[in-house]
Amino acid sequence: MGLSLPAFGTSIVFSILVLAAYTFAVAVAAGRRPHLLASARLGAYATSAVITCGVLLLSYGFFTHDFRIRYISQHSDRGMSPWYLLAALWGGQDGSLLWWTFLLSVYTAGVTTWMRGKYRALQPYVIATLMVIIGFFSILMMFAANPFEQNLTGSPGSGTQMNPLLQNYWMMIHPPMLYLGFVGCSVPFSFAIAALATGRLGNEWIVAVRKWMLTAFLFLSIGNVLGMIWAYEELGWGGFWAWDPVENAACLPWFTAAAYVHSTIIQERRNMFRIWNVVLICITFLLTIFGTFLTRSGLISSVHSFAKSDIGPFFSWFLVFTAVVSCALLVYRLPLLRGDAQLESVVSREGMFVINNWALLGGMTFILGATTSPLLTEALMNQEVTVGPPFYNKWMAPIGLLIFALMGLAPLFGWRKTSASSLKTAFAFPGLCLITVTLLHAIFGAKLGYPQVVGATTVESGTAAHIYASVSAFFPGITVSLSAFNVAVVVQEFVRGTRARMSSTQKKGDAEGPLTALVRLVQKSRRRYGGYIVHLGIVGMFLGFVGTAWQIEEEANLNIGDTAQVADYTLVYQGTRMCPGNPRCSAEEQSDKAKRMLFADVDVLQDGELVSTLHPAKFIYQNPPQTTTEVALLRGLRDDLYVVLAVADPETKRATFTVHVNPFVGWIWIGLLVLITGCGVSLWPEVTTKRVTAWTYVRASVAATAGILMTFTLAASLSQPFAGSFSAAGREHLAGHQRSSASVEGAPQ
Amino acid sequence: MSDAVAPARFVVPGVVLLLVAGVAAAGFWGGPSGVLIVLSAAALCTAIALMWTSLERMGEQASLDFEDALSVAVPSATEEQKLAVLRALKDLEYELTVGKISREDFDVASNDYRNQARRLIAAQDESMHVQLAAAEQRVLTFLQTSGAQSTPAEPSAQAASKTTSPSLAADPASTDAAD
């Protein structure tokens, strides 16, 4: 009898551990016997290749509907589209662990190739650390979550579809992006461990890690924002971030990664903060493991979390092991890590970075504490405590504003110390912008529906609570003013830099025009100016966040032909239709056999003119039996009209809608696009002249094509929500698009 | 180019072309599942081939080339400090040109950095002399023991010390010289 796919897949999982263990042993030996390094590198590639084989085999199982494999039968059925079959690979616990390992293997192969001819002393330990992480995940798959495990009762005739909530376009790209961010933190951690193990704790490893951490930061940002988009479109509560424990776990490493990206500059420039940087990298990695543990152990209940499983203890042990090894190495190498340089003045760039680091770390610590406190309270005191969004919003708003303010302040300071006269010059333009926008907001804000002060109430008693509530009423206005300040700072930095370059080139007799000078300025200092562009992206996101302060939510109970007025939108209810079956259903809706869809058609008018027809819906799935609420959205740069069908009576056709007008949400997605651009500028590689062969051209063109395709796909998918924002015709197109996107069986948008 | 290397150059592109053809054929006849199984088989074969090569390479006693030897060398603390100071000077000049710091602040900080740089370069030169003497001594000892030179001769020893051999640079004892 031949080897079955489940048995073969399981043997592949076993061989991952064997190869990782072999490579680890050879890599550690290569630390003392350099001639073994080539073997270790090949072992790392072999491990990556065998993991790739495992992922491809599981995908093959999905595409051939091999329901002998339990994971496949639990997360797919014959009716699912190829794209969702692919997404099912990471849609469940076991498969997502294999996917995690696969992405780590991609990073491993990438970093091994990148290190060729460089960092010879660090290489063995970098590879060994990566192999330990891969080994851990393979153990996890072998003993607790084998994606190839066979169904004990034999192969069922059909499988169970993936959770309908996960059958969404954004779920195709959100988890891989977030995982790329999480897994990406393993590379800086491996370098940190290698530096600690070898005692080479100078700037060498810091320079090596720089771009890898920025890559992880980029993917963490993309993953988190895509998660927001998914929650906004799919969960139907009108918001994008609910401080859910899994959402919190995903954003924790973002804070420390952001802190590291700034503090590493101080080590490079001033040879300070060596211990701090190692600690930040270790914490970031530990937080990625903790986040994965929180999502998968079943400890917390969340719409994002996986079912309760046995993998919790494995993660706990690994977390403890990693923390102990990191701490032990850190303590052992403490004498080498201590630097001579001191912080001379708080009124300096490094001073601002220190405060910024503490603010970011404070934010992370608060979220971590608030997320874990219900678990700890239940475990230690047997009391159930719930920490809800109001608690997080109350404390994170001032922390967020502090970080936002520091983001604008830091670039205005020089290194070491800044004199009062320099500060006066630096603050003049941004300060003027801040005052102007504050005044304009005070005068026109309320008239436009965005008042500067939003009355905040508190259920807590006590003077302090009331004082805080009064202060927090000013947060929306402060956010808008700080946004203007931040934009002004970035504009000033670009203008100053361009002017300085124009002046210096003129002195050299090779005068450059403003545009040439700007482009060359960015080319010369990509990290600095890429960072400023990232700051602009963050400003966009903050504008989106502050929009929630002016959110309007209304409920409308309508008969056919009734109208409802929400802000400046007039909604006219046109009736419901059940698809398939109703003659008004599209061909695509008629052909959908996986579910029944109840659409409510609502015309949207502005100033008496029809701008769109929205189709909020309820989908009733048979397998698994589940009803989902499908949101209808009319997007715009100023605000989004967000309509949810709450209830509809099939007899009388009377329907109840929840209507939200969400100001500036679109700026979060625009902010992400700007952030991606900024990170792209910072990450863009140095161009060097080198003798190349024809094969190098082939490799370079394949890499360039893949990069361009990925960029276009990402940019197109992220800008897709704005496809119809600028014209009525566009809005009509968008409405149609929303309608088709509501179909789970339809092709991805 | 040696005869053994010439065919090897075409192996990787050949295998890649074969794989692309296999994937295209599997996609044509077998659809997405055909493509996946061919890719999966290719990944497994690659893993086996890499593992085999890794085991083969374990027995080899490859010597380090000059670039590798340099990358093994630990940059000295002085070197790191010197680089940080030079970078700081560059930043300071940039900040003066964009008007972020005043001329007075620049002069004070710049003088301070320049003094630091001078001190570090001097310290580095001093340490270099010691390392250079040690390297010369090692070359002499090596030449004597290998029989290449029966008696110590100053000029040849100096010449040898200038053309640092890879094995010397790889020696942790000579790391500062390699810097």
Higher model confidence: residue A313 or residue A102?
A102
Higher model confidence: residue A704 or residue A437?
A437
Q: What are phi and psi of A56, to 5 degrees?
A: -65, -35
The C-alpha atoms of residue A292 and residue A100 are separated, in whole angstroms, by 10
Decide: helix, strand or coil at residue A661.
strand
- The alpha carbon of residue A166 is apart from the nearest alpha carbon of chain B, in Å, by 22
User: Average pLDDT of A585-606?
Assistant: 86
Torsion, Cα A167 A169 A175 A176, to 10 degrees, reads: 130
Per-residue confidence band for B37, with pLDDT thresholds at 50, 70 and 90:
very high
The answer to whether residues A495 and A417 touch, using CB atoms and an 8 Å cutoff, is no
B2 close contact with A: CB closer than 8 A = no
* Chain B residues within 8 A of A500 when measuring between CB atoms: 94, 97-99
pLDDT at A374: 85
Higher model confidence: residue B168 or residue B41?
B41
Tokens coding A367: 């979220």
* Chain A residues within 8 A of B172 when measuring between CB atoms: none
Per-residue confidence band for A691, with pLDDT thresholds at 50, 70 and 90:
low
The C-alpha atoms of residue A612 and residue A617 are separated, in whole angstroms, by 16
User: Average pLDDT of A278-296?
Assistant: 91
ipTM of the complex: 0.80
Q: Name the least confident of A100-104, A219-223, B99-103.
A: B99-103
CA A647 to chain CA centroid, Å, is 33
- CA-CA-CA-CA torsion sign (A350, A351, A355, A358): positive
Render pLDDT for A458-483 as a digit per residue (tens, 0 to 9): 667 778 888 888 888 899 999 999 99
pLDDT at A731: 40
Which residues, numbered 91 to 120 in chain B, qualify as contacts with chain A under a Cβ-Cβ cut-off of 8 Å? 91-92, 94-95, 97-102, 104-105, 109
Residue of B nearest to A9 (CA): B40
pLDDT at B176: 31
Which of A13, A42, A123, A270 best probes binding to B when mutated, by most B CB atoms within 10 angstroms?
Answer: A42
Q: Say what angle helices B103-146 and B77-97 make with each other, to 10 degrees.
A: 150
Q: What residue type is B7 in one-letter code?
A: P
- CA-CA-CA-CA torsion sign (A528, A532, A533, A534): positive
- The alpha carbon of residue A487 is apart from the nearest alpha carbon of chain B, in Å, by 18
SS (H, E, C) chain B: CCCCHHHHHHHHHHHHHHHHHHHHHHHHHHHHHHHHHHHHHHHHHHHHHHHHHHHHHHCCCCCCCHHHHHHHCCCCHHHHHHHHHHHHHHHHHHHHHCCCCCHHHHHHHHHHHHHHHHHHHHHHHHHHHHHHHHHHHHHHHHHHHHCCCCCCCHHHHHHHHHCCCHHHHHCHHHHHHHC
> Does the pLDDT at position A408 exceed 80?
yes
> Does the pLDDT at position A357 exceed 50?
yes
Q: How far is CA A536 from CA A76, A670, B123, in A?
A: 42, 10, 44
Per-residue confidence band for A1, with pLDDT thresholds at 50, 70 and 90:
low
The C-alpha atoms of residue A104 and residue A253 are separated, in whole angstroms, by 17
> Does the pLDDT at position B163 exceed 70?
no
> Does the pLDDT at position B177 exceed 60?
no
Name residue A621's beta-bridge partners. A595, A626
Per-residue confidence band for A91, with pLDDT thresholds at 50, 70 and 90:
confident
Q: What residues contact A733, with CB distance under 8 A and at least 6 apart?
A: A723, A724
Q: Which residue, A635, A525, A632, A650, is CA-closest to A581?
A: A650
Q: Say what angle helices A475-507 and B77-97 make with each other, to 10 degrees.
A: 90
The C-alpha atoms of residue A462 and residue A467 are separated, in whole angstroms, by 9
Asked if the Cβ–Cβ distance from A415 to B92 is below 8 Å, we say: yes
Per-residue confidence band for A724, with pLDDT thresholds at 50, 70 and 90:
very low
Choose among B80, B101, B109: nearest Cβ to A203. Answer: B80
> Does the pLDDT at position B174 exceed 70?
no
What average pLDDT does the structure give for chain B? 73
Asked if the Cβ–Cβ distance from B101 to A419 is below 8 Å, we say: yes
> Does the pLDDT at position B138 exceed 70?
yes
Task: Count how many residues are written for chain A.
Answer: 749
Higher model confidence: residue A732 or residue A67?
A67
Render pLDDT for A376-386 as a digit per residue (tens, 0 to 9): 888 788 777 77
* Chain A residues within 8 A of B39 when measuring between CB atoms: 56
Q: Name the least confident of A46-50, A405-409, A616-620, B130-134.
A: B130-134
The answer to whether residues B96 and B107 touch, using CB atoms and an 8 Å cutoff, is no
Residue of A nearest to B48 (CA): A46
Asked if the Cβ–Cβ distance from B80 to A64 is below 8 Å, we say: no
Q: What are phi and psi of A691, to 5 degrees?
A: -75, 130
pLDDT at A304: 55
Higher model confidence: residue B123 or residue B74?
B123
Higher model confidence: residue A598 or residue B152?
A598
B160 close contact with A: CB closer than 8 A = no
> Does the pLDDT at position B170 exceed 50?
no
> Does the pLDDT at position A721 exceed 60?
no
The answer to whether residues A149 and A6 touch, using CB atoms and an 8 Å cutoff, is yes
Which of B9, B11, B71, B176 best probes binding to A when mutated, by most A CB atoms within 10 angstroms?
Answer: B71
pLDDT at A592: 79
User: Average pLDDT of A527-537?
Assistant: 94
- The alpha carbon of residue B54 is apart from the nearest alpha carbon of chain A, in Å, by 4
Higher model confidence: residue B101 or residue A745?
B101
Per-residue confidence band for A120, with pLDDT thresholds at 50, 70 and 90:
confident
> Does the pLDDT at position A82 exceed 60?
yes
Choose among B12, B57, B74: nearest Cβ to A39. Answer: B57
The answer to whether residues A537 and A222 touch, using CB atoms and an 8 Å cutoff, is no
Q: What residues contact B161, with CB distance under 8 A and at least 6 apart?
A: B132, B135, B136, B139
Decide: helix, strand or coil at residue A150.
strand
Q: What residue type is B154 in one-letter code?
A: E
The C-alpha atoms of residue A93 and residue A307 are separated, in whole angstroms, by 8
Asked if the Cβ–Cβ distance from A38 to B62 is below 8 Å, we say: yes
Residue A340 burial (CB count, 10 A): 8
Per-residue confidence band for A660, with pLDDT thresholds at 50, 70 and 90:
very high
Strands A595-606 vs A552-558: parallel, antiparallel or unpaired: unpaired
Helical segments of A297-348, H only:
312-332, 334-337
Q: What residues contact A156, with CB distance under 8 A and at least 6 apart?
A: A67, A73
What average pLDDT does the structure give for chain A? 86
The C-alpha atoms of residue A295 and residue A320 are separated, in whole angstroms, by 18
pLDDT at B171: 37
Q: Name the least confident of A97-106, A198-207, A612-621.
A: A198-207
> Does the pLDDT at position B179 exceed 50?
no
Per-residue confidence band for A737, with pLDDT thresholds at 50, 70 and 90:
very low
Residue of A nearest to B69 (CA): A120
The C-alpha atoms of residue A594 and residue A602 are separated, in whole angstroms, by 25
User: Average pLDDT of A536-553?
Assistant: 94
Asked if the Cβ–Cβ distance from B88 to A415 is below 8 Å, we say: yes
Asked if the Cβ–Cβ distance from B39 to A119 is below 8 Å, we say: no
Q: Name the least confident of A372-381, A490-499, B141-150.
A: B141-150
- The alpha carbon of residue B107 is apart from the nearest alpha carbon of chain A, in Å, by 13
DSSP output for A538-584: HHHHHHHHHGGGG-EEEEEEE-TT-EEEETTEEEEEEEEEEETT-TT
Q: Which residue, A531, A299, A325, is CA-closest to A410?
A: A531
User: Average pLDDT of A243-253?
Assistant: 90
Q: Rounded to a whole number, what is the distance in angstroms from the first to the last CA of chain B?
A: 32
The answer to whether residues A527 and A682 touch, using CB atoms and an 8 Å cutoff, is yes
Q: Which residue, A575, A716, A646, A656, is CA-closest to A238?
A: A646
Strands A609-614 vs A595-606: parallel, antiparallel or unpaired: antiparallel
The C-alpha atoms of residue A100 and residue B122 are separated, in whole angstroms, by 51
Decide: helix, strand or coil at residue A188.
helix
Render pLDDT for A633-652 as a digit per residue (tens, 0 to 9): 999 999 999 999 998 887 88
Q: Name the least confident of A70-74, B25-29, B62-66, B124-128.
A: B62-66
Residue A494 burial (CB count, 10 A): 16
Higher model confidence: residue B95 or residue A743?
B95
Q: Is A149 left (phi over 0), alpha (psi -120 to 50) or beta?
A: beta
pLDDT at B70: 64
Asked if the Cβ–Cβ distance from A56 to B43 is below 8 Å, we say: yes
Choose among A22, A35, A269: nearest Cβ to B91. Answer: A269
pLDDT at B117: 86
Name residue A657's beta-bridge partners. A556, A645
pLDDT at A717: 58
Higher model confidence: residue A543 or residue A386?
A543
CA atoms within 13 A on the CB side of A609: 7
Per-residue confidence band for A421, with pLDDT thresholds at 50, 70 and 90:
confident
> Does the pLDDT at position A396 exceed 80?
yes
Q: Name the least confident of A540-544, A662-666, B81-85.
A: B81-85
pLDDT at A331: 93
Q: Name the least confident of A37-51, A79-93, A438-452, A510-524.
A: A79-93
Asked if the Cβ–Cβ distance from B77 to A202 is below 8 Å, we say: yes
- The alpha carbon of residue A119 is apart from the nearest alpha carbon of chain B, in Å, by 6
The answer to whether residues A543 and A664 touch, using CB atoms and an 8 Å cutoff, is yes
Residue of A nearest to B90 (CA): A269
Per-residue confidence band for A439, with pLDDT thresholds at 50, 70 and 90:
very high
CB pairs under 8 A between A and B: 158
- CA-CA-CA-CA torsion sign (B105, B111, B114, B119): negative
Cis check: omega of the bond before A624, within 30 degrees of 0: yes
Higher model confidence: residue A124 or residue B112?
A124
User: Average pLDDT of B80-88?
Assistant: 80
Residue A64 burial (CB count, 10 A): 17
* Chain B residues within 8 A of A422 when measuring between CB atoms: 99-102, 105
Asked if the Cβ–Cβ distance from A416 to B109 is below 8 Å, we say: yes
Which of A115-129, A430-444, A702-716 has the largest mean confidence? A430-444
Q: How far is CA A168 from CA A149, A163, A364, B49, B74, in A?
A: 27, 10, 30, 40, 51
pLDDT at B156: 44
> Does the pLDDT at position A710 exceed 50?
yes
Task: Count how many residues are written for chain B.
Answer: 179
User: Average pLDDT of A609-624?
Assistant: 87
DSSP output for A47-89: HHHHHHHHHHHHHHHHHTT-TTBHHHHHH--TTS-HHHHHHTT
The answer to whether residues A57 and A8 touch, using CB atoms and an 8 Å cutoff, is yes
Exposure of A122 by Cβ count < 10 A (0-12 exposed, 13-18 middle, 19+ buried)? buried
User: Average pLDDT of A726-748?
Assistant: 36
Which residues, numbered 118 to 147 in chain B, qualify as contacts with chain A under a Cβ-Cβ cut-off of 8 Å? none
Its pTM stands at 0.84
Tokens coding A124: 């063995």
Q: What residues contact A405, with CB distance under 8 A and at least 6 apart?
A: A482, A485
Q: What percent of chain A has pLDDT over 90?
A: 50
The C-alpha atoms of residue A365 and residue A2 are separated, in whole angstroms, by 54
Per-residue confidence band for B14, with pLDDT thresholds at 50, 70 and 90:
confident
pLDDT at B5: 52
pLDDT at A313: 86
